[in-house]
Amino acid sequence: MNYLSVQQLQKYYGDKLLFENITFFIDKGQKVALVAKNGSGKSSLIKILQGLEPPESGEYKFHKDIKVGFLVQEPEFDDNKTVYQTIMHADNRILKASLEYEHALNGIGDLQKAMNMMDELHAWDYEQQMKTILSKLLIHDLDQKVGSMSGGQKKRLAMAALLLEQPDMFILDEPTNHLDMDMIEWLEEYLSQSNITLLMITHDRYFLENVCNEILELDNGILYKHRGNYSKYLENKELREENMRVNVEKAQNTFRKELEWMRRQPKARTTKAQSRVDNFENVKAAATAKTQDKQVEIDVKMQRLGGKILELHNIRKAYGDKVLLDKFTHKFQRGERVGIVGRNGCGKSTLLNIIMGLESYDGGNIVLGETVAFGYYNQKGLQLKEDKRVIEVVKDIAEYLPVGKGTLSAAQVLERFLFPFEQQYNYVSTLSGGERRRLYLLTILMKNPNFLILDEPTNDLDILTLQVLEDFLMDFKGCLLIVSHDRYFLDKLTDHLFVFEGNGKVRDFLGNYNEYRLQLKEEQKQAKLDEKNAAAESAKLASAKRKLSYKEQQELQQLEKDIEKLNAEKHVLTEELSSGITDHQHIRQLSDKLESIIQQLDEKEMRWLELSEWAG
């Protein structure tokens, strides 16, 4: 069953062509990701599908019988409503079905129709689903006003509301932003369910690998389709670019021959010669075709690091009763590469701000080496004036950047950072979110640091920029301290972790994030096994020391009779409720009686188990 068809769409941003004649289809159960460089039109396509922006030409169509749910970068809510009111809004189909069922039980409406709808939407356990989703996304205060929430909390609230709506098709714009590792892994598992249909934009490569079965790549306005996950997409892209290189080389050989011929010809040409001239222009276009994206080439000449770098001794930090750091100690070595992970709000960014001197600490001592030159990339980003030109932003930092074999001018550095000459004189106000972050990262590197501190550097960066940033950081000889929820990024760049476990405790784990998760699962598995063995041993000891009294023996015998009788009554009531009766009042009475019997059974069976264990 086709859920979405997009045909011949074309879109401009000002004078810039974002894409043209793109066509694709999404069927039920497909999980599709859209990848492209920043500024290529990904978010514009989402806005078109939302009906917020019109295309220049082409059309799109959703199946008339499906409900589509959107997650956008900056969700809009009524700040005066509570979290509960926001979730339980009028468009929530499951909420409507639950209310109709309640009304039908009271004699208002068609009970059988209401029950069928509850079955269809799997709405019987809705309340439990709501508690699970809110808990996983760390939304606990349902009476909190939305206006008092942070941007990250609102994004998680939007995600929770969307998941609880259970639309037929999800369209998600960067769903992992503002989520911690545990949330991302839970969401990854949730969206992997076979009954979920999905179109999303994300730079999270593990997410692409584990969730998606098709990837759409938007490159220079052309849409390429790749069946399979992220690994398959990389294979296909490499093959396509290799084929293109071969074709360009062939065209260049032809071009050289044609150029020699053109130079030999007199001005007066025959019709036959003119045909060859026309063909020359086509060959020239093929020979000069772009075969691959420009790469961000960064070879910054780092300032020398001395023997003493950065030492943290027994650092303590708390906000009221909430302890973030409790006697945290670490001595950084030359070339150390550390990732910082933990739940949102546990103190990761606070540690970075303490190191940078932006926040005070309650106790302990910090020793900083004289040669350390920090480069700090924080979540808030660089506050730029909208009316400033891109090249002026860089020149305000430095006119030249020292590199391995000399210097690069501000214009040359911008060119290597994917800001072509014609864009360097554009105003900051024209840049996309990802382009602004790329520019901000460049201003950090222009300061020639030897100790890089990166707080969520992957947000809003496209995959191409991430790959090149990773290549640079792999070669970076200084110290590296990264806070990130991007598991792929951390696995590639770090060799040990600071794991914020809560209550001020920070574990120093030797290894990358994937290795940490594997060890954590083993520890949790062992903890459960130990708990089970301890409980069994405790029960065994209790059984050995305990014998039933005469009264308890009598109680055990009576319980067996009571349980048998209650099970029989339960069976009779269940059969009667399933017989198709339509008297609403009678159904209510039977339901209440069945609920009472089930409760009695639970209590008596628990007591029977307890006495049976004692009896051996």
Q: Per-residue DSSP letters for 278-313?
A: HHHHHHHHHHT---SPPP----B-PPPP-S--EEEE
Highest-confidence range of 85-94, 190-199, 524-533, 606-615, by mean pLDDT? 190-199
Task: Tell whether pTM > 0.85.
Answer: no
Indicate if the pLDDT at residue 293 is higher than 50. Answer: no
Q: State the pLDDT confidence band at 296, using cuts at 50, 70 and 90.
A: very low
**What average pLDDT does this structure show over 195-201?**
93
Please give the mean pLDDT across all residues of the chain: 84
Per-residue pLDDT tens over the stretch 463-489? 888 887 888 888 888 899 999 999 999
Per-residue pLDDT tens over the stretch 127-179? 677 778 888 898 888 888 999 988 888 889 999 989 988 899 999 998 988 88
Q: d(Cα 592, Cα 322) in Å, to the nearest integer?
A: 46
> Which token pair is 31?
């999980």
Q: Tell me if 559 sits within 8 A of 604, measured CB to CB.
A: yes
Q: What are phi and psi of 169, to 5 degrees?
A: -140, 130
| Fold agreement (2-229, 310-509) | yes
Per-residue pLDDT tens over the stretch 313-365? 999 999 999 999 999 999 999 999 999 999 888 999 999 999 999 999 999 99
Kindly list the domain boundaries of the chain, sorted by start residue. 2-229, 236-287, 310-509, 512-539, 550-615
Per-residue pLDDT tens over the stretch 40-50? 888 889 999 99
Q: d(Cα 245, Cα 251) in Å, to the nearest integer?
A: 10
pLDDT at 94: 76
pLDDT at 487: 92
- Candidate from 5-9, 146-150, 258-262 with smallest mean pLDDT: 258-262
3-class DSSP state of 343? coil
**What average pLDDT does this structure show over 69-97?**
81
**What average pLDDT does this structure show over 69-73?**
89
The DSSP code sequence of 541-581 is HHHHH----HHHHHHHHHHHHHHHHHHHHHHHHHHHHTTT-
Higher pLDDT, 152 or 2: 2
Q: Tell me if 211 sits within 8 A of 28, measured CB to CB.
A: no
Q: State the pLDDT confidence band at 504, using cuts at 50, 70 and 90.
A: very high
Q: Tell me if 1 sits within 8 A of 197, measured CB to CB.
A: no
Q: Which residues pair with 548 in a beta bridge?
A: none
**Percent share of the chain, pLDDT over 70:** 89
pLDDT at 336: 93
Q: State the pLDDT confidence band at 100, using cuts at 50, 70 and 90.
A: confident
Q: d(Cα 378, Cα 72) in Å, to the nearest integer?
A: 23
**What average pLDDT does this structure show over 210-229?**
90
Categorise residue 200: left if φ over 0, alpha if ψ from -120 to 50, beta otherwise.
Answer: beta
Q: d(Cα 364, Cα 453) in Å, to the nearest integer?
A: 21
What are the residue ranges of helices labelled H in 137-270? 151-165, 181-191, 205-211, 230-264
* Homologous superfamily, domain 2-229: P-loop containing nucleotide triphosphate hydrolases (3.40.50.300)
Q: State the pLDDT confidence band at 259, using cuts at 50, 70 and 90.
A: low
Per-residue pLDDT tens over the stretch 261-290? 666 666 555 554 556 555 655 655 555 555
Rounded (5°) CA angle 270-275-281: 130
Indicate if the pLDDT at residue 382 is higher than 70. Answer: no
Q: d(Cα 148, Cα 79) in Å, to the nearest integer?
A: 8
* Homologous superfamily, domain 310-509: P-loop containing nucleotide triphosphate hydrolases (3.40.50.300)
HSE toward the beta carbon, residue 534, CA cutoff 13 A = 6
